[in-house]
A and B are shown apart, each in its own frame.
Chain A
Amino acid sequence: MNLLSVDKKRSLMRYHYVRFTAIHIILIAGALLMLFPFFWLVSSSFKPVNQIFKIPIKWIPRDITFDNYINGWKGLPGYSFSNFFLNSFKVTLTVVIATVFSSSFVAYGFARINFRYRDFLFLVLLSTLMIPSQVTLIPLYVIFSKLHFLDTYIPLTIGSFLGGGAFFIFLMRQFYDSIPKELDDSAKIDGCSHFRIYWSIMLPLSKPGLFSVAIFSFIWTYNDFMSPLIYLNSVSKYTIPVALRMFVDNAGMSNWGGLIAMTLVAMFPPLLVFFFAQRYFVEGIVTTGLKG
């Protein structure tokens, strides 16, 4: 059986070689296609404005300029992008920290305590994943406006203190399921309360899960456009996406360079997080089937 003739072996090897080269060529071509918009953005951001839309495209600009970044950073009248980044980070950091603690806390209840109607309530929790957010959009706006919470960050952050959403509770519960129950059983025999077990045993053991939650909530909150669009009125409170959108309207034709530079800058935080924490991303998606 394995007495393949030398000829046959050689042709098999050649076949494999050709095949792998072909796959690599396809994948590289695909990757270039995927990254092409970014290449254009990066290269244009360093070009003088009058050369940005010049054809044919010069991928490496002859005279590199930082003017676009300087002009863009000035942002909207009275408020620079420092202001908007600070706002975005305030909101995002609050949401991330609150989500990590509240989702892991709630998930502990579902994973480790046997209370009445638990399974039913968990089913209810999962079913909320199916509800499109548009159904609650209008009433939530009305509620927050009647409570005078409009133009504050409360509507953007309150959910993160209340479990942080079914996705994250589900993710953490899945994670807890992979931690052996014997650990907390023995702690219980030693007289540990559930709060102690959650805080001193489960939290330290579920760092990778918590990390996934933190990263996903960072990126979703940072990218979120609809909520700040609806709830924030004053420009001084704008987060990056709404500020960028207003910048598009304001800059129009006059500040193309600044717009290109700021578009790129706005993409930076999520990309940075992704490159440093890739592993947790992939794990998080695979364990729960989250969308990116």
Chain B
Amino acid sequence: MKKWQNGRVLKKRVSTMNLKSKENLIGYVFISPWLIGFILLNIGPMIMSFIFSFTSYDCFSSLKFIGFNNYISMVTNDSLFKNALLVTFKYVLFYVPLRVVVALTIAMLLNQQIRGMSFYRTIYYIPSILGGGVAVSVMWKMILSKDGAINALLGMLGLEGPNWLADPNTALFSMVIMSCWAFGSAMVIFLAGLKGIPKELYEASSVDGASPVRQFFSITLPLLSPVIFFNIVMTLIDGFQVFTQAFIMTSGGPLNSTRFYVLYLYQNGFQYFRMGYASAMAWILFIIIMGFTLLIFKTSAFWVYYQSVEEGK
């Protein structure tokens, strides 16, 4: 009797174990495409890249370890690297705030329950569809040329425009404007965020006599801060990786004023075949992006308003 019971318990345990491990197995079967991709296309190459960054690899000869030399020469004797870093920082410094402010402004205008909202939304979103692609870059290159459409418009106003992309003083600025032109995705996210703010707050505050400006600073801005935070982070990550525009429109010129970080990285890797050096540059970029993202995360405690925390009060 006892023996039989033990046997039954055991059997039951075995069968639940089987069930559990079968579930495990099926789970891994389902995620296996990603898992394989993760190992072969993500983590494997990342380890390789880390190793490359300590070598003078050029894709043809065998690996030769040179210690920290790649990292050291970046700082000590590569003025183009410092230039690329500076140019990219400058770009990001203007691009991120401008894009976020424009996207938020347009989103707020569109959120006024006006007629034709979806029509406007479509129009403002169009540039984002084409992104920073080749066709868009070619188009901008043409309208920004000396006798291009922008200068023709300025001419109508009696102004003489510069040769935007050939002048080191305006080339970077032109690219900032062109990139901000594609603010549509940030705008759509802002719109969704604005829709989530309860209308009662505005109604109640206007009964109390709050001006629209006051409402913006006391209701909209705090309640939207998580979305603002999100858009800043995304735009920042995007901004550090700017490449196609510069590649197509200026090839980094004039006078290196648009030789962005990723463009210089590409040139090192695939034009000069300094793949070890390019790998080291990629890691520095990774650290910079991570650092900034973390910085924004850390400071977010001071300016991002999370409703759930405050609700208890």
Q: Which of A's residues lie within 8 Å of B, judged by CB? A: 20, 23-24, 26-27, 30-31, 34-38, 40-41, 53, 55-57, 102, 105-106, 108-110, 113-116, 118, 121, 124-125, 128, 130-143, 145, 158-159, 161-163, 169, 194, 198, 219, 223, 225-226, 230, 240-242, 244-245, 248, 256, 259-260, 263-264, 266-267, 270-271, 274-275, 278, 281-282, 285-286, 289-292
Contact = CB atoms under 8 A, between A and B. Distances in A.
Given A105-B30, A159-B41, A225 B138 contact: no
Contacts of B140: 37
A130 B297 CA distance: 14
A275 B106 CA distance: 21
Contacts of A131: 42, 46, 286
B31 interface: yes
A263 B59 contact: no
Contacts of A140: 41, 45
Given A55-B147, A134-B281, A223-B130, 4 more contacts: A23-B109, A57-B152, A142-B59, A240-B134
A289 B140 CA distance: 27
Nearest to A239: B134
Main secondary structure of the interface of A (DSSP, over half): helix
Contacts, number: 248
A130 B42 contact: no
Contacts of A242: 134
Contacts of B139: 37-38, 41, 263
Nearest to A220: B131
Contact of A124 (B38, B145, B266, B281): B38
B30 A53 contact: no
A272 to B, nearest CB: 10
A42 to B, nearest CB: 11
B290 A130 contact: yes
Contacts of A114: 23, 27
Interface residues of B, number: 95
Contacts of B127: 34
Contacts of A137: 265, 269, 278, 282
B126 to A, nearest CB: 7
Given A23-B109, A40-B143, A285-B188, A270 B241 contact: no
Contacts of A142: 48, 57, 59, 275
Contacts of B147: 53, 55
Contacts of B247: 225, 245
A194 B24 CA distance: 12
B121 to A, nearest CB: 8
Interface in B59-110: 59, 106, 109-110
A248 B136 CA distance: 13
